[in-house]
Amino acid sequence: MRGFFLITGFLTPLAIIAGFLRVPVSFSYNSFATTDPFSLMGLIFITVLLLKGVVAFGLLKEKTWAVKLAIIDAAAGILLSLALLTYVVLNGDPLSSNLPFDLIALIPYLIGMLKIRTEWESINSIQVT
């Protein structure tokens, strides 16, 4: 899965360049979609993909900051999913749209990152000194 996020993190700046050139780029998350990278949804998607790409790179290269950023990434993903779920419930029929099933992966991801945080930081602090 890290490979996917590394690739999307790498391709996200290309989507920004395409936006400047007025080339439509398709982003979608659950039942939300946009083709404009500079719309509110487009900027949210770009930010999330860039964050996931940086986290994947940091975890792959075992950087000291990687787990802290992964925790922020997981918490932000959970909050975004809950916000989108709330939006769908308040503004439409929740049964007719896709529910944010990424919560099934994000919650264990957050728990796992919280569990390894102290060990990760102690191992990386030994390597630095």
Domain ranges of the chain: 2-128
pLDDT tens digits for 62-112? 898 999 999 999 999 899 888 878 877 787 765 555 666 788 889 999 999
| Strand spans (E) along the chain | 27-29, 32-34
**Amino acid 70: pLDDT:** 95
Give Cα separations from 43 to 28, 37, 38, 82, 89 (angstroms): 12, 6, 6, 18, 23
pLDDT tens digits for 5-60? 777 777 778 888 888 888 888 877 656 678 888 888 888 888 888 898 899 999 98
Non-local (6+) Cβ contacts of 83 within 8 A are: none
**Amino acid 121: pLDDT:** 81
Token couple for 22: 């007025």
